[in-house]
Chain A
């Protein structure tokens, strides 16, 4: 089985722009979670989707949003980018919602200048 894939792998944006990141889960997995990792804050949970519904949301501003499609692929969007949004964005998929093993993608490295 192919693993979790994320595109793009690297991205450079300027302040004020918006960005969309994509995540394709392992075939058969219906849950996709998104995480932000920074040197200062470590790993933080952004949101989780299961069967196109947001099941859980972390403590991030409304500029961070996501969605999941009927084929379980997920996108996250960050609008009005700030320098502090520079981070590694990871997605993970699992078979069950909010439980079970998580399988992580390689991440998207976003740099905001």
Chain B
């Protein structure tokens, strides 16, 4: 059983569409991270959340601690957003990371 579940696994969108990626977790957490991985392997940390909502440019991340759920939204999607998006949670007391399996996003021009 995976502590972190993401949906959908794969997502294809037209440029300009609003995109939502979901992450559910089954354990108590100290923080949730959204990561972006482009082909070639490099990973960039997009957000770190412990409550509420954060926005950076066209990206918005929300978390509901009671429901153990987080969403990553991309507004006005662009082909350069094509990447794998990974949800990761830090689980106390050791605060080590557990990762979702990722959502592969392709944005078509």
Contacts and interface: CB of A to CB of B under 8 A. Distances in A.
Q: How many B residues touch the partner, as a band?
A: 20 to 34
A106 B41 contact: yes
Interface string A25-60: 000000001010100001111001000000110100
Main secondary structure of the interface of B (DSSP, over half): strand
B51 interface: no
A99 B35 CA distance: 15
A88 interface: yes
A101 B98 contact: no
Contacts of A33: 97
A55 B93 CA distance: 11
Interface of B: 30-31, 33, 35, 41-45, 48, 86, 88, 90, 94-102
